[in-house]
Structure 1
Amino acid sequence: MNFLHLKYLIEVEKYESISKAAQHLYINQPRLSKIIKEIEEEANIKIFERHNKGVVPTTKGREFLSQAKKIVQEVDYLKNMYQDDPHKLNLDICVPRSSYISEAFIEYLKMDNNMKKKLNLNYRETNSIDTIQNVYDGENNLGIVRFPLRDQDYYFNILNLKELTYEKLFTFDYQILISKDNPLKDKDIYMKDLKKQIELKHGDIHIQEDHHNHKHMNIYERGIQFELLNEIPETYMWVAPMPKKLLKQNDFVLKTCKDKKIPYVDYLIYRKGYVLSKEDQNFIECLKNVIEQVK
């Protein structure tokens, strides 16, 4: 039994299939099956039950895999302790579509001559469920999840089930983003005022429940969202608080809705046992600095 083989077992559990795990690991299926059999014989337990749709861990197998994950995490811990390189910049993060987070990322790149270093950056925008799965699967080291405060217990259950560490970053109410040419710019805004406007939706954040009673467009690309806001005055977006610099650059106005307040919350997540690198810590510091600016 060796360390690499433990990682193989974890992949089999993840994909619930020996053949799929073998494809992901770039080894042939008979070789992977042989490794599993050898480990089962050495540990004197049956780790996986085979069935026609794949494999699932046995009770003893789940215990074994839980310990295997801890060993892998400890090895990762040792690597992170000694792999900080002043000439390299490593960051791997999965986040919601949010201007304050992207602003923090830009500020992070600008600090300490980071752009002069060898870059290894992975900045991915997606929804909270995908972020949780990506961090759990090890595809991203860090994640930021966003959800309504009222759904907090639901997400905590998922995070605890996946054994992920979570730290609150920011609680806020969604606000209304409009251009300086929007007729609502100088008015107090109520929900009824939005019925004559077109909502530009991120696609994965739903503020208004009456989808059939108001005009909206699902737009997933941020650049065209901002362009539409500027070119079509009667459009708006629900957004998290934004940096003043970005509002000024785009001639945008941020307004509160007088009769619609739904608190959302952002959490930083990472795998239990994962040790934050110096780069991770620097990014989190930039993130918290920007949060203080937009509060």
Structure 2
Amino acid sequence: MNLNQLKYAVEVAQCKSINATAHALFISQSTVSTTIKDLEEELGIVIFNRSNKGITLTKEGETFIHYANNIMQQYYLLEEKYGEKKKQKEHFSISMHHSTFATKVFARIVKEFGLKEYEYSIYETKTKEVLEQVGNGKSELGILYISSFNQAYYEKVFKNLNLEFQMITEYDVYAYVREEHPLAGHDIIKLEQLEEYPCLIFDQDENSSFYFYEEIISAYEYKNIIRTSDRATTIDLLHALDGYSIGIGMVQEEKSVNGIIAIKIDTDEKINVGYLMRKGHPFSPIASRFLQEFQKSNLPFEQEEC
């Protein structure tokens, strides 16, 4: 039994005529008749009743055509997705630290290149997974925030994984708080002023080095910590608990986002923003375009969004 036999049988069942089937498939009537006869002999059943009034299905034939039709539908789906004549969509994927900033650039690229010829993936995830996903090719690019505290450690990791990090620019460090936070009226604050409030940090794997924490000033001993896994939860807790999180601020024209503002922290530490790639792997056109926009968007500005 082969696909052609199933195809002819399904078509005969639909057309209820050998002649009509032959015309529909652009083959001879004898080819259809011989194929159906060989199929019935091979299976040891009678699929069709033949008479002067036409062709009808036997009871066994109805069951057989039900299964044959399901097989052919799956075949057509496979042919549509993987057939040689159909151009496959290209795929663009990035993995990154939690950042609305990079997400906005990604959205602009999707709008520019469209959905007709591309499939897209964006993974906002843990540091270890960013490294793994770029290393194994699941993502073409990774977006990381690195500080002077963990830079040397990262460089060793990149070398071991055959990855390369390109810094784009350097930022001051900001604390994100709600607009009504007791410290909201300050232009600049010291870390000591934040000690009584909970610090919201993004959770990493329990086996990951503390150097992998996204929060800058990782060597600082936070007094009160709440771990979260996504930005939506973090924003909710910033409002509910007068907590704070650490990052690179807001986009210059946006003084507040979702009721959250950014206050500069008085520290000499800086945040290096850049992209991660596999060594020796050229960029796809869409990845190159993303980096152009990403670099353009990373020109020095006052603050970036939570």
Amino acid at match of 2:214: I
Residue in 1 that maps onto 2:155: 156
Contact 1:198 1:215 (8 Å CA) reproduced: yes
Instruction: Tell me, yes or no, if structure 1 residue 218 matches structure 2 residue 227.
Output: yes
Contact 1:98 1:239 (8 Å CA) reproduced: no
1:67-106 aligned at under 5 Å gives the runs: 90-106=91-107
Describe the SS at the equivalent of 1:250. Answer: coil
For each residue in 1:117-170, what CA deviation from the matched residue of structure 2 results, as whole angstroms up to 9, or x when unmatched? 344112112233432232222222222233222432332233233332332122
Q: CA deviation at 1:276?
A: 0.8
1:115-134 aligned at under 5 Å gives the runs: 115-134=114-133
Higher-helix-fraction structure:
1
For each residue in 1:245-294, what CA deviation from the matched residue of structure 2 results, as whole angstroms up to 9, or x when unmatched? 66534232211112x34223233222222121111011112211221264
Residue in 1 that maps onto 2:258: 250
Contact 1:146 1:267 (8 Å CA) reproduced: yes
Bigger radius of gyration, 1 or 2?
2
Contact 2:176 2:249 (8 Å CA) reproduced: no
Q: What is the identity percentage for the equivalent residue pairs of Structure 1 and Structure 2?
A: 17
Unmatched 5+ residue regions in structure 2?
Answer: 1-86, 204-212
Describe the SS at the equivalent of 2:298. Answer: helix
Residue in 2 that maps onto 1:279: 286
Contact 2:170 2:273 (8 Å CA) reproduced: yes
Q: Which of 260, 271, 276 matches 1:269?
A: 276
How many residues in Structure 1 have an aligned counterpart in Structure 2? Answer: 204
Residue in 2 that maps onto 1:205: 214
Runs of 4+ in 1 over 6 A off after TM superposition: none
Question: More relative contact order in 1 or in 2 (CA 8 Å, sep 6+)?
Answer: 1
Amino acid at match of 1:193: Q
Aligned CA RMSD, in angstroms, stands at 2.6
Query: Normalized against structure 1, the TM-score is what?
Result: 0.61
> Are the structure 2 counterparts of residues 89 and 173 from structure 1 closer, same or farther at C-alpha, using a change threshold of 3 Å?
farther
> Are the structure 2 counterparts of residues 289 and 155 from structure 1 closer, same or farther at C-alpha, using a change threshold of 3 Å?
same
Separation in 2 of the partners of 1:210 and 1:166?
27
Unmatched 5+ residue regions in structure 1?
Answer: 1-84
> Are the structure 2 counterparts of residues 105 and 242 from structure 1 closer, same or farther at C-alpha, using a change threshold of 3 Å?
farther
